[in-house]
Every structure is written in structure tokens, then in C-alpha cells.
């Protein structure tokens, strides 16, 4: 298969930090060389994450490699070349999608010590991460009660994912509710408010901004082990990817897909197809 790998590929690329307008479509981008611990994937579909536009805006420029950059983390496709040190993958293997959001969801629950019989409040329940936190809390960790926040039109959707108490953040301040939770998972960046909703001595997981003690912030560190643990739940359909019905974009419209994600209103994942 290696002999049929082209030297150039289509890609969306940016040469400078900025808004959606810096993204340019190009059909002559060099196909990357595979290092010994890497594989080359022929991408069939991809999903966007907020980190993709935060990088493009230059928010991580002190730690990021400088442009030109082809954005994106989550892909589905076929392995076409394997580095010499790679174990467990071979040419022709089909590679998985949706890792970043589901792995973030799982790692946060694990770090918070979430376990059977505990209750949780998910802030930002309708987003890419929140939809997975809800499903994992229920199906994998055995939550006793799940509450989550979203705007008015998404409350029924939250219930369909397994939420017992859907909180309309346009009408109710979650921190003023008398009920407190064993864990609060903050995928919005609610700071001080989030710690007011947790029981004494319990955890708040922050992924979208600074943490207020006793809460903690973390950045996803997984190397794929979490996905392996979750395969039975994904294959049985107990945990499902949630694709935003308005968030499916052909490859030619990647800039529109970014603009949509950047509205901060996406429900589940924004996906690029027909690559």
C-alpha cells in the first residue's frame, strides 16, 4: 500500500494566527513523513473541537508549534503506513473517531474519583464533552443521579441522554439549588459558581478555565488506553457518539464548520465528511 501513497494532499491550512478567514483550502500540501512511533492515516472523516479554533486564534502560541498548521485532532480513516516502532496497528486498519471529547469526559470522571452511587452535575451538558460525561457517568460509572445545564431548547435532549434533572441555565442559577452534588464537571468555565454546587469535601472538575479550590483543572493526557476500555460500551451502543444534526459539513466547507463550532452552540460533535 505504501507505494500508492501520494506526495501531496488536500488540506485546510493556516499560515498565521487569526479568525476563520485565515483558514485556506490547498490541494498541494506535502503528505507528512511518518516518524518511527507514528502512523499515516488516510482520513475519511474528522471532528472539530474547541481546541482547534483556540490554537488557530493563537491562544496556545507559547507552547504550540508555529504555523503553517493543518488543524484537527479527531479523525476516522485507514492506516496506510506504519512507523518501525509502532505496535498494535498495521496497514489497512481502520482508525477510530471521537477520541478527544470522550477521553476528556472519562479522564475527568476518573480523576474526580467518580464511582457507583454518586451524583453529578454537568455544566455544559449538551456540548461535545458534556454529552459524553452524561453517558459515561450513567452507563460506565453507575451514577445515582445526573443533573446537567443547557439552554431551554436542549432540556429534552439532555433527558434523552440519561439526565434526571435538566437545568435551564437561562432561568435557574444552578448554584442556588438546595441540592448539592458529589461531583461537578464544569465544561463551560463557571469558576466560583461551580464550587457552590458541590457537597462538602467533594470534587469539581474544570476543563475550560481556571479552577477554584477545591476544584482542579486538567488537560487531557490519554494515549488511547481510555478508548480501549470504552470499546465494549461503544460497540454495544450503551454509549453513543452524538452528532449535531446541523453540524455535518463537507470537506469544502471546513471554514463554515469552524464558524459553526465557534458560535458555542453546537450540540454534540461537529463533523467533517467526504474528505
Q: How far is the CB of 101 from ligand NDP (least distance, A)?
A: 5
d(CA 96, CA 74): 8
Q: Which of 31, 39, 208, 248 touches ligand NDP (CB under 6 A)?
A: 208
- Enter the C-alpha cell of residue 169: 441555565
Among the listed ranges 16-24, 25-33, 124-132, 234-242, the one in contact with ligand NDP (CB under 6 A) is 124-132
DSSP characters over 54-104: HHHTTTTTTTSPPSSB---SEEEEEEEEE-TT--S--TTPEEP--HHHHHH
Helix H or strand E encompassing 126: none
Q: Which of 187, 194, 195, 271 touches ligand NDP (CB under 6 A)?
A: 187
49 to 68: interface string for ligand NDP, x by CB under 6 A:
xxx--x--------------
Q: Which of 71, 99, 124, 215 touches ligand NDP (CB under 6 A)?
A: 124
Residues 6+ apart with CB under 8 A from 7: 30, 31
**Nearest to ligand NDP of 12, 185 (CB atom):** 185
238 binds ligand NDP (CB under 6 A): no
- Asked, as a colleague might, if the bond just before 272 is cis with ω within 30 of 0, I would say no
Contact, 241 vs 269, CB < 8 A? yes
- Find, among 105, 93, 80, the residue nearest to 183 by Cα: 105
Q: Per 3-state DSSP, what percentage of the chain is helix, strand, and coil (rounded to 5)? A: 30, 30, 45
Among the listed ranges 19-27, 62-70, 249-257, 259-267, the one in contact with ligand NDP (CB under 6 A) is 259-267
146 binds ligand NDP (CB under 6 A): no
266 binds ligand NDP (CB under 6 A): yes
150 binds ligand NDP (CB under 6 A): yes
Q: Which of 207, 242, 243, 272 touches ligand NDP (CB under 6 A)?
A: 207
Contact, 47 vs 242, CB < 8 A? no
Q: How far is the CB of 54 from ligand NDP (least distance, A)?
A: 6
Note the residues at the interface with ligand NDP (CB under 6 A): 49-51, 54, 100-101, 104, 123-124, 126-130, 149-151, 154, 169, 187-188, 207-208, 219-220, 261, 264-267
Amino acid at each position: 500500500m505504501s507505494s500508492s501513497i501520494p506526495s501531496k494532499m488536500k488540506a485546510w491550512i493556516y499560515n498565521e494566527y487569526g479568525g476563520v478567514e485565515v483558514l485556506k483550502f490547498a490541494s498541494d500540501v506535502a503528505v507528512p513523513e511518518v516518524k518511527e512511533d507514528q502512523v499515516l492515516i488516510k482520513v475519511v472523516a474528522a471532528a472539530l473541537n474547541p481546541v482547534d479554533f483556540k490554537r488557530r486564534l493563537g491562544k496556545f502560541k507559547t507552547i504550540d508549534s508555529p504555523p503553517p498548521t493543518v488543524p484537527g485532532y479527531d479523525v476516522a480513516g485507514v492506516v496506510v503506513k506504519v512507523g518501525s516502532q509502532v505496535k498494535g496497528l498495521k496497514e489497512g486498519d481502520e482508525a477510530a473517531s471521537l477520541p478527544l471529547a470522550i477521553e476528556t469526559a472519562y479522564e475527568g470522571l476518573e480523576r474526580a474519583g467518580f464511582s457507583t452511587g454518586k451524583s453529578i452535575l454537568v455544566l455544559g451538558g449538551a456540548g461535545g464533552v458534556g454529552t459524553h460525561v452524561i453517558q459515561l457517568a450513567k452507563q460506565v460509572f453507575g451514577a445515582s443521579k445526573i443533573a446537567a445545564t443547557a439552554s431551554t431548547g436542549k432540556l429534552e435532549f439532555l433527558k434523552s441522554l440519561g439526565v434526571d434533572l435538566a437545568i435551564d441555565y437561562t432561568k435557574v442559577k444552578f448554584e442556588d439549588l438546595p441540592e448539592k452534588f458529589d461531583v461537578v464537571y464544569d465544561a463551560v468555565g463557571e469558576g466560583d459558581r461551580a464550587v457552590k454546587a458541590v457537597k462538602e469535601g467533594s470534587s469539581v472538575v474544570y476543563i475550560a478555565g481556571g479552577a477554584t479550590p477545591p476544584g482542579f483543572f486538567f488537560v487531557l493526557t490519554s494515549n488511547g488506553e481510555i478508548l480501549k476500555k470504552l470499546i465494549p460500551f461503544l460497540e454495544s451502543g450503551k454509549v453513543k457518539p452524538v452528532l449535531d444534526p446541523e453540524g455535518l459539513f463537507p470537506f469544502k466547507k471546513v471554514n463554515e464548520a469552524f464558524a459553526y463550532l465557534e458560535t458555542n452552540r453546537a450540540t454534540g460533535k461537529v463533523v467533517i465528511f467526504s474528505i
